[in-house]
Structures are given as C-alpha cells and as structure tokens.
C-alpha cells in the first residue's frame, strides 16, 4: 500500500494546471515546484478548503441501483494500484459490475504532480472515456512514470490521450486548466479526510473501509453481502 503524504507536498501539484509544464524544460519545472513547496502547509490547507469542488465528476461504473457500492481510492502513480487494477478490478468488473451487483466508484488520490497530470488527462474525455484511459495508464504505468522528467512524462501522457481519441487541442485545454487542477486536489483531500484514507489502494464497501486485498478475498466479502 502506498502511503498518503502531507498536504503541503500535494499542494505542489496545484501548479500542474499551468502552461509551464507543457512548454518549459525540467529546470523551470523544478524551480516552480521548489517555490510551491516553500509555501506554508497552512496556506495550502486554507486554499484547499476555499476551493469550489462542485464541478468535479465522480467516476462511476455499474448500475446506479446495484445492491453494493464499492469505492476505490487510488493513485495513477501507485504501483500497488496498477496491480490492483489488473488483478482485481478487471475480474471484479466482469463478475460483479457488468452483472449489476456492484456500483464501482474510482476516487483519485494525488501523491505528486505527476499523478494529478495523469488524472487530468484521464478525465479529459469525460465519463465515457475515463475508465478506458485509466486502463491504458495503469497497464503502462512503469513506462511513463520511469523517466522522472516532467516534460517527458507530460509527452507520454499526451500519447495516451491521443490513443484514446483525444485531439491535441483538447488535451492542451485539459492540461492547462489550473482551476480544474486546484478543484481536483481539494476534492481529493476532502474525500480522503472524510473516509480517513491513509494509503492506496483503499476500498470502501458499503461504507466499511478495507485495505488492499486479493480478488479471492474481495469476492468472499461481496458474496457474503449478496447472500451467496
């Protein structure tokens, strides 16, 4: 499980919506990041509390009236989340979500600006493209995260967006949306605080919190709730 870091570091990601990370080199990006980190954690927290998050879309799969609601807290840069996506979420979708037994909700958690960028690209195509783009990002996570260079990573995320059918103009608009970046960070913090999330992946099954688990263990919980 990947542990959640303090809000002052997450606040670094707020600048991700700015045009600098699309157009400038690594030195500029690092300078901006260092300046942001230098701000106080209280200032970051106050800004988060004041941010309007009403425009953030909850990403959901499955029937609205499914008997079980399962929320996953995950990060696009968390290796354990990529493993969960491949080994647990895929069979979960086939066996429970697509059959109307589980409504699945994906809630983003941001450890760094890279995870926020990935979320902004994944959300660029709206609800109908989000989970397909998430599949692409999780399955290739080790490739696009590997370089550590912000400009290279931004370029790799753009490639994923184009594979999903998004135009360069649409991607640029999404990736430069600073208001959306701030709203996502504030939304994520409110969710993780409300559910007392300390790491990813974490699951909330009908209001009850669970740590990362195998599909076999998750299946036992779901079948018990379904009376199976």
pLDDT tens profile 8-63: 344 444 444 444 444 443 343 343 333 333 343 344 455 556 788 888 999 999 99
Res 131 pLDDT > 70: yes
**What is the rounded average pLDDT for all residues in the chain?**
83
What is the DSSP-derived secondary structure letter of residue 110? -
Res 105 pLDDT > 70: yes
Spatial contact of 48 and 189, defined as CB atoms under 8 Å apart:
yes
Residue 32: per-residue pLDDT:
37
Q: In the CATH scheme, what architecture does the domain 2-226 have?
A: 3-Layer(aba) Sandwich (3.40)
Res 79 pLDDT > 80: yes
Residue 102: per-residue pLDDT:
98
* Rounded CA separation 68/75 (Å): 23
Weakest mean pLDDT among 14-28, 64-78, 143-157, 180-194? 14-28
- What angle separates helix 113-122 from helix 168-175, to the nearest 10 degrees? 140
- In the chain, where the domains are located: 2-226
């Amino acid at each position: 499980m990947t542990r959640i870091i303090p809000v002052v570091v997450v606040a670094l990601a707020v600048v991700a919506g700015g045009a600098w990370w699309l157009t400038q080199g690594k030195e500029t990006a690092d300078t901006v990041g260092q300046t942001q980190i230098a701000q106080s954690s209280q200032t970051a927290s106050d800004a988060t509390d004041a941010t309007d998050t009403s425009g953030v879309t909850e990403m959901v799969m499955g029937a609205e009236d499914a008997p079980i609601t399962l929320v996953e807290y995950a990060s696009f840069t968390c290796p354990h989340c990529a493993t969960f996506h491949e080994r647990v979420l895929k069979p979960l979708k086939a066996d429970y979500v697509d059959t109307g037994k589980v409504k699945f909700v994906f809630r983003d958690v941001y450890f760094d600006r890279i995870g926020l960028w990935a979320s902004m690209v994944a959300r660029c195509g709206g609800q109908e493209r989000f989970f397909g783009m998430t599949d692409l990002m999780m399955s290739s996570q080790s490739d696009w995260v590997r370089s550590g260079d912000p400009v290279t990573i931004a370029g790799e995320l753009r490639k994923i967006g184009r594979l999903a059918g998004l135009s360069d103009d649409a991607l640029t608009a999404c990736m430069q949306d600073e208001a959306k970046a701030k709203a996502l960070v504030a939304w994520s913090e409110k969710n993780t605080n409300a559910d007392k999330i300390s790491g990813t992946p974490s699951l909330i099954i009908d209001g009850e919190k669970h740590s990362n688990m195998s599909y076999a263990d998750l299946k036992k919980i779901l079948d018990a709730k379904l009376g199976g």
